[in-house]
Structure 1
Amino acid sequence: MKFTMIHNNINVLNLEKSMKFYEEALGLTEVKRIAPESGEFIIVYLGDGSGCHKLELTWLRDRDEPYDLGDNEFHLAFGTDDYEGALAKHQKMGCVEFINEEMGIYFITDPDGYWLEVLPPGRG
């Protein structure tokens, strides 16, 4: 028996703002959308074009208060082929939350406060 990772889900308050952030910050683009006629939710799957794993953004029509992220001890990680360039870009965007120079990694936050780890080439 074999299992394959398919996607991770995060819920967002402003779908368009989140989609714009993920495209600008990490190059993720929409690959699939589920939007029932009732309009009660929209699910958008984002991909990086290199594999089958997706990030699922879920927007709920009736949700208007921020999600409780607890201690925010969970995160998604992204590798990059240009760590210094990525760090400079994210600093310019104002989304760098924490730089761990000892480990050679940093974290950015999305519009809903989710942490995203950025790793240099060969790490992960």
Structure 2
Amino acid sequence: MKYKLEHACIRVMDLEKSLEFYRGALGLEEVRRKDFPEWKFTLVYLSDEDRNFEIELTYNYDPEKPYELGNGFSHFALTVVDLEGSHSAHKEAGYTVTDLKGLPGEKPMYYFVTDPDGYMIEIIRGGSL
């Protein structure tokens, strides 16, 4: 049996702030939206231009307090050809970013940027995209 990755879902406190981050910081595009006012939530699906995988933002209307991210989820990862340029752009835009990092004994190959809800996004040096 063959399976294909479809999407990952995260809950967000402020849908507009999250959309601004994922569009502005990562260049993701909204591919569809489903509003359920009778159940008081909205689903927004974001993807890159290749549409291989989606992030589903779930916004429950008027959440009372921030979600607990837990200690099991670690991060999402995206690749970029110009790692240093991306890192600089994220820092200049005021996003929370780590220093460039590498695995022990390797040159820097990645860094993390944090979204408005505290989710970590790993940005990895990739080949041609």
What TM-score results when the alignment is normalised by the length of structure 1?
0.89
Q: 1:22 to 1:66 in 2, by over 3 A?
A: same
- 2:30 aligned partner: 30
Structure 1 residue 25: deviation in Å?
0.3
Contact 2:78 / 2:123 at 8 angstroms: preserved in 1? yes
Q: Aligned runs of 1:91-102 on 2, under 5 Å?
A: 91-102=91-102
| Helix, strand or coil at the partner of 1:26 | coil
My pick for the range that moved more, 11-20 or 90-99, is: 90-99
- How many residue pairs get aligned? The number is 122
Deviations, residues 24-78 of structure 1 (Å, cap 9, x unaligned): 0000011010102426000000011113310100000141211111347510001
RMSD: 1.6
| Helix, strand or coil at the partner of 2:51 | coil
| Helix, strand or coil at the partner of 2:58 | strand
Structure 1 residue 98: deviation in Å?
2.0
Structure 1 residue 118: deviation in Å?
0.4
Identity %: 39
4+ residue segments displaced more than 4 Å: none
Contact 1:72 / 1:114 at 8 angstroms: preserved in 2? no
Q: Aligned runs of 1:78-117 on 2, under 5 Å?
A: 78-103=78-103, 104=108, 105-117=110-122
Q: Which runs of 5+ in 1 are unaligned?
A: none
What TM-score results when the alignment is normalised by the length of structure 2?
0.86
Write the letter of the residue equivalent to 1:92: E
Write the letter of the residue equivalent to 2:122: E
Q: Which runs of 5+ in 2 are unaligned?
A: none
Write the letter of the residue equivalent to 1:118: I
- 2:64 aligned partner: 64
